[in-house]
Amino acid sequence: MNQLILPYQKNVKKTFNSFYYENKNNNQIIENIKNIYNNSNNQIYICGERSFGKSHILYAACNYFKNKKCVYLPLKDYNLFSTDILEGFENYDLICIDDIDYIYSNDEWEYSFFVIINKILENSTKIIYTSSTSLKSNKIKLKDLQSRLSWGLVFMINNPNDIIKEKILNKTIIENEYNISSDICSYLMKREDRDLASLLEVIHKIGNYSLSTNKKINVKNLGVVFD
């Protein structure tokens, strides 16, 4: 296999076509990734709030460049492995680093990334980072690392509107094979608290209940989930 995804997750095919967005800025992110081998920019740094689809974009990039040697590393789980995992990353064609901000202020990880990024750039390897933290944040202790990360293109993912949020909720139900009626999504979108992270948390709670009880959940019987 040419693609390495760490750690193993359920094999859900994520593509750019299934990434829902509605504005020019997000479209620009996708187009720059698709054309990353046609320009001199070796790095793309994507910043956005939690649950805005950053991980989806990285998986989609690995699937899009299926003829390239790709690696995906989720740093949200960086405590599950050591910095040794970065050794040899410069030999890949495309490196996708998810949630790099999780290692900010960690001296060992920041220095290790500074070293590997220098090797990557020497080889003209392409690398895409995602983060919930801006590069202007004071969380990065190693200023040389902050400088390296800012050498490439930097984008901000925009907040999805309610129509896009509802599509994302429905897609989440399908991908996880939850036994949830589609009317649940419309119902949840009428709540006052409609930030995407909270909505997805509720969907997963309902979905896990539906799987554990083998019952289909709709608006009429939704109350049993939260009793």
Kindly report the average pLDDT of the chain as a whole number: 85
pLDDT given at position 39? 83
Chain segment 117-143, per-residue pLDDT in tens: 999 888 888 999 999 988 887 889 999
How is 104-138 classified by DSSP, letter by letter? TT-HHHHHHHHHHHHHHHHTT-EEEEEESS-TT-T
Token pair of 64 as six digits:
């899009």
**Taking the model in full, what pTM does it have?**
0.77
Average pLDDT of span 54-72: 90
pLDDT category of residue 23 using cuts at 50, 70 and 90? low
- In degrees rounded to 5, what are phi and psi of residue 46? -110, 120
What's the N-to-C CA distance of the chain in angstroms?
46
Summarize pLDDT for 71-86 with one digit per residue, the tens: 999 999 899 889 999 9
Please state the CATH superfamily assignment of the domain spanning residues 3-156 in this structure. Answer: P-loop containing nucleotide triphosphate hydrolases (3.40.50.300)
Please state the domain extents for the chain.
3-156, 162-226
How many other C-beta atoms can be found within 10 angstroms of the C-beta atom of residue 91? Answer: 13
